[in-house]
């Protein structure tokens, strides 16, 4: 059965209600002129109960993928529930950062006027590449140079925000930029630095099958861009030895 995902002209609420959950959500996104790339968060467009519908829809289509792969899911007990497991894994776990709102983060003013370099990390990163949906496993370090007008957030919140951004199909360069934008908006530091180092399983499992390759990239903003000493201090304090 071919999957019809072409846009439809909807004339009334009744017609909208007849669409699948993914079609309804897409209809709202298009109507709001809102981007819905793999690494975008679309939680604001999902209504109560629709996640369960989405899961059922992904399960049904995943089952079609297994059929197209000519796997006998009826007699093969190992793959009997695979479509359901994969749907649940995508929506509730590995891509949850697309479907759930940003974790609540309390910001508090910088009462003590901290203005020293602060480093958070390594934060464990579990993500997936948008190209192959293969895992990306790695670590992130965040450097913050606050000023008296900065908002501070609890240490564990850096990991929560990082997890929220990484648990989507991502491209490493875009992931670190997204994380930097989010932290810049909330913390408003004088300087912000992020380094991410990750294994891309599409390099190990397929393609060149290079098991040693790691991708490292960084974002430097504000004081970290202007001040080479600060940048050096940050980079020298990263504990990357155990990788």
Q: Which is nearer to Zn ion, 57 or 199 (CB)?
A: 199
Q: Pick the stretch among 36-44, 127-135, 136-144, 222-230 that binds Zn ion (CB under 5 A).
A: 127-135
Question: Which are the contacts of 20, defined by CB distance < 8 A and separation ≥ 6?
Answer: 53, 57
Q: How far is the CB of 47 from Zn ion (least distance, A)?
A: 32
Q: Is residue 136 involved in binding Zn ion (CB under 5 A)?
A: no
Question: Which are the contacts of 159, defined by CB distance < 8 A and separation ≥ 6?
Answer: 120, 123
In which element (H, E) is residue 170 found?
strand 169-170
Please state whether 189 falls in left (phi above 0), alpha (psi between -120 and 50) or beta: beta
- Interface residue with Zn ion among 37, 47, 85, 131 (CB under 5 A) is 131
For Zn ion, the nearest residue by Cβ is: 202
Whole-number Å distance between alpha carbons of 194 and 177: 9
Cα atoms found within 13 Å of the Cα of residue 95, Cβ hemisphere only: 26
Q: Which is nearer to Zn ion, 180 or 203 (CB)?
A: 203
Q: How far is the CB of 100 from Zn ion (least distance, A)?
A: 24
Q: How far is the CB of 129 from Zn ion (least distance, A)?
A: 3
- Interface residue with Zn ion among 132, 186, 204, 214 (CB under 5 A) is 132
Name residues contacting Zn ion, limited to 174-203 (CB under 5 A). 202
The residues that bridge with 197 in the sheet, in sequence order, are: 139, 216
Q: How far is the CB of 65 from Zn ion (least distance, A)?
A: 18
Backbone angles phi, psi at 220, to 5 degrees: -125, 130
- Which residues are near Zn ion by CB under 5 A? 129, 131-132, 202
């Amino acid at each position: 059965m071919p999957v019809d995902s072409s846009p439809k002209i909807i004339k009334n609420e009744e017609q909208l209600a007849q669409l699948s959950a993914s079609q309804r959500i897409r209809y709202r996104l298009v109507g709001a002129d809102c981007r819905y790339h793999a690494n975008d968060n679309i939680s604001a467009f999902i209504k109560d109960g629709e996640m369960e519908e989405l899961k059922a829809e992904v399960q049904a289509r995943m089952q079609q993928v297994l059929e197209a792969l000519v796997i006998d899911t009826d007699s093969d007990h190992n793959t009997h529930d695979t479509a359901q497991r994969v749907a649940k894994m995508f929506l509730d776990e590995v891509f949850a950062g697309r479907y759930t709102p940003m974790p609540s983060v309390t910001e508090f003013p910088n009462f003590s006027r901290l203005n020293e370099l602060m480093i958070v990390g390594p934060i464990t990163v579990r993500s997936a590449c948008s190209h192959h949906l293969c895992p990306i496993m790695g670590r992130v370090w965040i450097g913050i140079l606050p000023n008296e007008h900065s908002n501070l957030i609890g240490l564990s919140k850096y990991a929560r925000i990082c997890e929220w951004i990484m648990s989507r199909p991502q491209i490493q360069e875009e992931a670190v930029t997204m994380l930097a934008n989010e932290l810049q908006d909330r913390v408003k530091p004088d300087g912000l630095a992020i380094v991410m180092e990750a294994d891309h399983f599409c390099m190990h499992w397929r393609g060149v099958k290079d098991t040693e390759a790691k991708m490292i990239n960084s974002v430097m903003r504000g004081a970290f861009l202007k001040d080479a000493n600060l940048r050096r201090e940050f980079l020298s304090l990263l504990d990357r030895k155990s990788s």
